[in-house]
Amino acid sequence: MTSRMVLWILLGSVVLLVVVAAVRSGGLATGNLDAGDWGALVGLLMLATLSGASVMGLFRGRAGDALQAVIAWLAIFAFLGVIYTYRYEFEAVGRRVLANLVPGMGAEGVTGTREVTVPRGGGGTYVVRVTLNGSRATPMLVDTGASALVLTEADARRAGIRVEDLSFNVPVQTANGQSLTAATMVEMVAIGPIVERNVRALVARPGALTTSLLGHTFLDRLESYEVRGGRMVLRGRS
């Protein structure tokens, strides 16, 4: 690494520190900088001036090269500023791309909102990955026709529910006719930033269900859910 590169890195670091210190200073906007703020800013500005003078010495007699270097650094800082300013939007885009690549992976909304977008899967169904009681996320079929959250035996056990202690005495109507399920309570159901606690659920008999169903005991707790542009949007209550 050449001495010129070291000086440019030093200058860039000092300028960045000055900007960060100014932004983080709560009194800058109101003009109420305290002694500590002024001391930090003055010290950083002096260091920036010293570094700038050193860099100017490197480009003595070469104004064109100096101007190009300044423009390049300004472009770098502008790019980094844009990335930082729109970091939440970039994060949301990344999650949406991931949601299209991983089946059942919902795309969360911009930070601060309790919203999850679920892409439509095969056969026009919507499958979302749900975390039960903090266990590994499991895919569930969003079923607006199901009156309750219905779990397969395997998903119930994965959530820590003792299936052998349940009583299968709750009749439900399925596509294959009437079946008996067991009532239980799931302490925590989470889909991305949407988290609901103490959700009533049913557990299907072993082998009676291949995929757990996200029904109305969970859906009715949401602020809203809708299908829009081939995607289902789930919105949690504020």
pLDDT in tens, 153-195: 999 999 999 999 999 999 987 766 788 999 999 999 999 889 9
Q: Are 126 and 142 in contact (CB under 8 A)?
A: yes
Q: What number of CA atoms fall less than 13 Å from residue 221's CA on the CB side?
A: 18
- Is residue 1's pLDDT more than 50? no
Q: Model pTM? A: 0.55
From CA 13, how far away is CA 7, in angstroms rounded? 10
Q: Which range, of 56-70, 109-123, 150-164, averages the lowest pLDDT?
A: 56-70
Q: Could you give the angle at the alpha carbon of 142 between the alpha carbons of 136 and 148, nearest 5°?
A: 90
Structural Rg of the chain based on CA atoms? 28
**What stretch of H or E contains 219?**
helix 216-219
Q: Average pLDDT of 226-230? A: 86
Strands, E assignment, 65-211:
107-108, 115-119, 127-132, 138-142, 149-151, 168-174, 177-191, 194-204
pLDDT band at 115 (very low <50, low <70, confident <90, very high): confident
For the stretch 130-153, pLDDT in tens is 999 998 888 999 999 899 999 999
Output 57 or 224, whichever has higher pLDDT: 224
In the chain, what are the domain boundaries? 3-85, 104-235
Residue 217 CB-density burial (10 A; 0-12 exposed, 13-18 middle, 19+ buried):
buried
Architecture (CATH level 2) of domain 104-235:
Beta Barrel (2.40)
